Amino acid sequence: MTISFLFALGGLAFLALLFLWVRRSASLSHEDKTFSGAHAPLAIGDRKEFSWLLADKIFSQEDLNFVSRQVSAVIRQEFVNGRRKIALLWLEQTRSGLDRLWSLYRKTARIHRTANLSVEFRIAATYLCFLLVCEIARILIWWSGPFAARNSVFRVMRTANRVADLSGRVLDGLDPLLLS
C-alpha cells in the first residue's frame, strides 16, 4: 500500500512538473534573435561587475572607520544606509551579470560539444553555489549592514569568478569561427 501510494505520488509530481514545463516553455517558444554564440566569450570578457577592487571599495571597513571618526552618529547611520543601498545594487548587478554569462554559456554549450558531463555538472553546481552565497550575502547586507557582510561578499566574488573561469576555460577551447 505504501509503495503504491509513493508511486502514485510520484505520478502526481511528474504531472505537476510537466505542467510547469509547459507553462515555461510556451514563453520560450521563440528563439532569441539577438543571440549569437560569439556573444558568450564577449560576455566573459566583459565582466567589470566581478572586479575585486570595486567590491573592496564598496564594502571597505576603512571608509566606515573614517566616517565614524569625522561625523556624528546620525550621519554615520545615513552613510551606512547609503552604502547598504549601493551594496544591494552592486550585488544585484553582479548576479544579473553572471546570470547573463551563464545563459550565454548554456546557449553556446547546447550547440557545440564543449564539455563532458562531469565538467558540465561542475559548472552547474558552482553556479548553484553562487546563487546560494548571493542570497546569503543579500540577507546579511540587509540585516547587519554592508561592512559586516564583507566576508560573504568576497565569497560571492570568488564563486562568480570561478563560474566565469570554468565556463571561460571551456569556451576558450572553441574556434571563434565555429561560434555561430
Q: Is residue 2 near another protein by the rule CB under 8 A?
A: no
80 vs 163, beta carbon nearer another protein: 163
Q: Report the alpha-carbon distance of residue 44 to residue 172 in Å, rounded.
A: 10
Q: Report the alpha-carbon distance of residue 29 to residue 13 in Å, rounded.
A: 24
Torsion of CA 119, 39, 97, 123, to 10 degrees: 0
12 vs 89, beta carbon nearer another protein: 12
Of 100, 112, 94, 5, which is closest to residue 54 (Cα–Cα)?
A: 94
Q: Is residue 38 near another protein by the rule CB under 8 A?
A: yes
Q: Report the alpha-carbon distance of residue 83 to residue 63 in Å, rounded.
A: 10
Give min distance, CB of 127 to another protein, in A.
Answer: 11
Of 73, 86, 101, which is closest to residue 160 (Cα–Cα)?
A: 101
Please, what is the Cα angle at 66 between 56 and 76, to 5 degrees? 95
Site string for another protein, 59-78 (x = CB under 8 A): --------------------
Binding another protein (rule: CB under 8 A), the pick from 53, 72, 143, 175 is: 53
36 vs 68, beta carbon nearer another protein: 36
- Residues lying near another protein in the complex (CB under 8 A) are found at 1, 4-5, 7-8, 10-12, 14-15, 17-18, 21-22, 24-26, 28-33, 35-36, 38, 41-42, 44-46, 48, 51-53, 103, 106-114, 116-117, 120, 124, 176-177, 179-180
